[in-house]
Amino acid sequence: MKINRSELITEQQNPRSTEIDKKSISEILEIINEEDSTVSDAVKKVIPAITQVVELVVTALKDGQKIIYVGAGTSGRLGILDASEIPPTFSAPRRWFTGVIAGGREAVFRSIERAEDLPDNSHGDLNKLELNSGDVLIGIASSGTTPYVIEALNFGKQNDCRTVFLICNPTSLNSFDYDIVLPVAVGPEIIAGSTRMKAGTATKMILNMLSTASMIKMGKVYGNLMVDLQVVNEKLRDRGTRIIEKLTNLNYEDAGKMLRRSGGSVKTALVMINNNCSKSDAKELLNAQEGNLREIIGDLAV
């Protein structure tokens, strides 16, 4: 059945930019900036739904399941971006978050537009990830009509996965039977149909929110400090040392020594210092508390 996409808000002409081609460069930029400023309010309205998604994600991760972003074009690239940044930021296992894009690896770097219209390809792409019951599939499609993404979610349901659909229209042209539908109404784009703009911004904001909030609830953060980091370069060595210095009575040099003794783990070093214990004992304590540092060292001034 042919979909009448002209009804979608993201396909409408924006009355604020109808003559944007006549504007000066500075006027064009002002229009874009004014429209971008509306995105945050649109996202704020769906915080209750984002909260539900975070609860779903945290439960799945604690149960040993994985989170899979699925999208096409810009949506797929944004999912891959968020998934790829979680391991280095939070020392999270790479299997926790994965991004899948219609068209595969090549589509990350150059447009393969027809790939979104090949829904059955999603089966093979997801099968490569060895779907398990309880995994969470988060489909991303600004229009809410992308065949590849819809079929991926349906395939996920058939495999007893939890399903979330993030769309950038207030309502959908289709009816969906997913665990959570997250509709963020960003309104018409500055250039009609160019959903890499406001819809893309809203998508990145929401993915940042749900992954960051999930990592906080997984014990990857203490206060607002990234304590669950592993020293793999000089920048992270300096950051880790400064975190230890801030949370203890040690000076920078001694904090660095403890970081080295811990094997480059800020969390382990902090437990060693706070509990006056060995590295192995600190690791045992962290494992017993599922990595939640606050449960071990309590409330410090952060």
Query: Which of 30, 35, 116, 253 is an active site residue?
Result: 116
Other beta carbons within 10 Å of 158: 10
Question: 68 in helix, strand or coil?
Answer: strand
Annotated catalytic residue 116: yes
Place of tokens 């060595």: 237
In 218-251, which residue ranges form alpha helices assigned H by DSSP? Answer: 234-247
Give phi and psi for 207, each to the nearest 5.
-65, -40
C-beta neighbour count of 274 within 10 angstroms: 17
Answer yes or no: are the C-beta atoms of 273 and 244 closer than 8 Å.
yes
Q: How far is Cα of residue 171 from the mean position of the Cα atoms in its chain?
A: 23
Asked if 264 and 244 touch (Cβ cutoff 8 Å), the reply is no
User: Is 85 a known active-site residue?
Assistant: yes
Q: For residue 60, give the amino acid letter.
A: A
CA-based nearest residue to 62, from 220, 224, 265: 220
> How many residues are there in the chain?
302
Angle between helix 47-62 and 198-217 (nearest 10): 40
As a whole number of Å, the end-to-end CA separation of the chain is 57
Give the pair of three-digit tokens for residue 277.
């214990």
List, in sequence order, every residue forming a beta bridge with 222; answer none if it has no partner: 225
In angstroms, what CA-CA distances link 90 with 53, 86, 134, 228?
19, 6, 23, 6
Residues annotated as catalytic (active site), given as ranges: 85, 116
